[in-house]
Structure 1
Amino acid sequence: MARINFDLQELQAFVAVAERSSFRAAAEDLSLSQPALSRRIEKLESILGARLLDRSTRHVALTNVGRMFLEHSRAALDELEGAVLGVSDLAARRSGLVTVSCVPSAAYYFLPSVLREFSARYPRIRVKVIDEGANTVLNAVISGRADFGISFIGTQETEVDFKAIFREHFVLAVRNDHPLAARRSVEWEELAGERFMTVDKDSGNRLLIDAALAKSGKRAMSAFEVSHVLTLLGLVEAGLGVAAVPKLALPLTTHPTLVGVPLLKPRVSRTLGLIARHGRPLAPAAAALYDMLRHAGRAAHRSPDPAPGAATPGTAPAARPASRLK
């Protein structure tokens, strides 16, 4: 029997390219450069002595051999993943606790859906959530108080690794009986006549909005100023005015009262990511939750922008790097 002398990385590279039909998309999924990904595919084909992919500058397709090998590759990876999860599960049961720091706008709707799945898979693991401002989230990770965090800052911090999971626009949160609720979009300058509400100047979200509006010269005067995005949503529900919030702060499904309307000119966005201490591997339980959140974020990133009246996560242009904020 011939000895198998390729490793898991080559197999994962091939499956990623086959499933995405794109070297660029597969390289992004695997956090590799395209040349590195190509080398892995070439090594695998050389070892097998057969071409698995037909590729040109614009097209990638499986060969007959590649289609057959893809089925076996997927089966092998699925079996290996099951074995690894089994080991991780045992290790996770011994660990007992995972601590996650998370910005409130992500903690309310995005995080619970993942925690539900995590708890079903690891029923004996307790999860502690530190739901605070972005600066507190970052400091909790750096100090070791949290295993990892979910935030929109950290890209410039040498002490942490920031793994972007998706980008989102800010939307205008309004009641569904508000005249703007039926609009496909709203421009910032149209808010001059509205009772606009906002988070205070210590908030990272506020600084992102202020920076974007400063460049455009368009300002909206605030009637109410609060500390947290979720408080804003409560005021909107009460009919006290409208507010600009990250799309993720709104429910993932249709809400009986709240509607998110795209805000344009300028389009304000932020990049949400997972942050972990640089050079410190996560414990098995924390790593399992980290991976589940990463996959959930990718699913949200691939979701289309909602029609007016819906409030689901969507894609957005990359936000500018943010410094350490509250």
Structure 2
Amino acid sequence: MSINFDLNDLQAFRAVVEKGSFRKAAEAISISQPALSRRIEKLEGALNVRLFDRTTRRVSLTMVGRAFAPSAERLLNDLDIALLGISEVASTRLGNVTVACVPSAAYYFMPTVVARYHKLYPRIRVKVLDASANTVQEAVLSGEADLGLSFTGNLPPELEFELLIQEHYVAACRRDHPLAARKQLTWAEYFDQDYISVDKTSGNRFVLDQALLHVRPARPSICETRHVTTMLGLVEAGLGIAAVPSMALPLGEHQWMTSIPLVEPAVQRSVGLIRRRGRALTPAALELEELIRELRKPLADQ
């Protein structure tokens, strides 16, 4: 049997399988929708089978398409893994990978990850979806994101969680703040200061409310925001201090900010990778996942 299709046709097939839509698949591999349709037609013609049932509203695999999909996935993954392992070739690889992460991880941690990844694979486009923990879950469930970075919670059974670090909440403050030299700060002392809080839509607010049930604030916050990143901006502006997870802060010295461990009680949250069960990651996503694991080690040592 002669082979009358190529890798581009298989990549188009995989994209449609993953995205469930010709339009979304075309966007994912950066070609026009008519060009993607031609690739699928070429593949179906070469195999002499119909791989998809198409209507105006939906696309689904035929029985033959479902049987063919795992073989096509293995072939493409094996090739990509082999190519990514060759340094001269890795820098020329094309592709897309999407990671959804909570804002506290998106501000300082993920830029470090993306910068390192871009240096290794400059032609693979990384998309970062910074969103709430619930939205991160939804993005991974729907396939909009290849993987997620979030803290553990009530995950649906379709998702799996891999713990990366147990991080503490600390008080972020300016270096010229009167408390900046303190070695630690109790929550009672914290709430006696001008402090900034997050509103009830934030996953961090839920974690703190649960952990601080028996700690009564001496006064309300002077400002409330929706995201940790906004809190840090207000801290830098000198408005007050803020309780944030340690991942939200830069590693090492910062020109304006420092942090103080919060105690009585010490509050932790579990941060890790979220994946959809049974969904194989592309080699590009696997490489990004491994880089996240590698770069979280300095955070665990904080």
Is the pair's TM-score, using the shorter chain for normalization, greater than 0.5?
A: yes
Structure 2 equivalent of residue 30 of structure 1 = none
Q: Which residue of 2 aligns with 1:125?
A: 124
Query: Percent of pairs identical after alignment?
Result: 50
Give the partner amino acid of 1:193.
Answer: D
Q: How does 1:13-28 map to 2 (within 5 A)?
A: none
Answer whether contact 1:181 1:261 (CA < 8 A) is retained. yes
* Residue 183 of structure 1: aligned partner: 182
Counterpart of 1:122, as a letter, is Y
- SS of alignment partner, residue 171 of structure 1: strand
The CA distance in 2 between the partners of 1:126 and 1:137, in whole Å, is 19
Change (3 A) 1:243 1:299: closer
SS of the equivalent of 2:255 reads coil
Q: 1:266 aligns to what SS in structure 2?
A: coil
Give distance in 2, aligned partners of 1:277 and 1:83: 24
Unmatched 5+ residue regions in structure 2? 1-80
Change (3 A) 1:89 1:200: farther
CA contact (8 A) 1:199 1:229 kept: yes
**CA distance in structure 1 between the partners assigned to 2:200 and 2:107 by the alignment:** 22
Go from structure 1 to structure 2 and tell me whether the alpha carbon gap of 1:91 and 1:146 turns closer, same or farther (over 3 Å shift). farther
Query: Counterpart in 1 of 2:77?
Result: none
Residue type of the alignment partner of 2:126: V
Alignment of 1:59-70 (within 5 A): none
Distance between the aligned counterparts of 2:88 and 2:247, measured in 1?
30
Count of residues in correspondence between the two structures: 221
Q: Distance in 1 between matches of 2:227 and 2:91?
A: 33
Q: For residue 63 of structure 1, what is the aligned residue in structure 2?
A: none
Could you say which residue in structure 2 is the equivalent of 1:217? 215
The answer to whether structure 1 residue 109 and structure 2 residue 108 are counterparts is yes
Change in 2 beyond 3 A, CA 1:209/1:139: same
Question: How many Å apart are 1:191 and its aligned residue?
Answer: 2.5
Write the deviation string for residues 26-72 of structure 1: whole angstroms up to 9, x where unpaired: xxxxxxxxxxxxxxxxxxxxxxxxxxxxxxxxxxxxxxxxxxxxxxx
Pick closer, same or farther for the CA change 1:85–1:279 going to 2, 3 Å.
same
Q: Is 1:229 the counterpart of 2:244 in the alignment?
A: no
**Deviation for aligned residue 1:253:** 2.1
Structure 1's 144 and 134: CA in aligned 2 closer, same or farther, altered over 3 A?
same
Contact 2:117 2:288 in 1 (8 A): yes
Cα 1:135–1:88, aligned 2, differ >3 Å: closer, same or farther?
farther
Secondary structure of the residue aligned to 1:182 is coil
Structure 1: distance between partners of 2:190 and 2:297: 32
Q: 1:257 is matched with which residue?
A: 256
In structure 2, C-alpha distance between the alignment counterparts of 1:96 and 1:84, rounded to whole Å: 13
Instruction: Look up the match of 2:134.
Output: 135
Q: Is the 8 A contact 1:201 1:207 kept in 2?
A: yes
Indicate if the aligned counterparts of 1:195 and 1:223 stay in contact, CA closer than 8 A. Answer: yes
Q: C-alpha distance in 2, partners of 1:255/1:91? A: 34
User: Judging changes above 3 Å, is the alpha-carbon distance between structure 1 residues 102 and 93 closer, same or farther for their aligned structure 2 residues?
Assistant: farther
TM-score for the superposition, normalised by structure 2 = 0.68
1:204 paired residue number: 203
User: Which amino acid letter does the alignment assign opposite residue 234 of structure 2?
Assistant: L
Partner of 1:248: 247
**TM-score (ref. length: structure 1):** 0.64
**Contact 2:188 2:215 (8 Å CA) reproduced:** no
Shift of 1:117: 1.5
Which residues of structure 1 form unaligned runs of 5+? Answer: 1-81, 304-313, 315-326
Whether the aligned pair in 2 keeps the contact of 1:165 and 1:297 (CA below 8 Å) is yes
* Runs of 4 or more above 3 Å deviation: 82-85, 87-95
Secondary structure at 2:139's aligned position in 1? Answer: helix
Paired residue secondary structure (1:113): helix
Cα 1:268–1:201 shift into 2, 3 Å: same
- Judged with a 3 Å threshold, the aligned counterparts in structure 2 of structure 1 residues 281 and 299 are, in CA distance, closer, same or farther, namely farther
> For residues 83 and 216 of structure 2, what CA distance do their matches in structure 1 show?
53
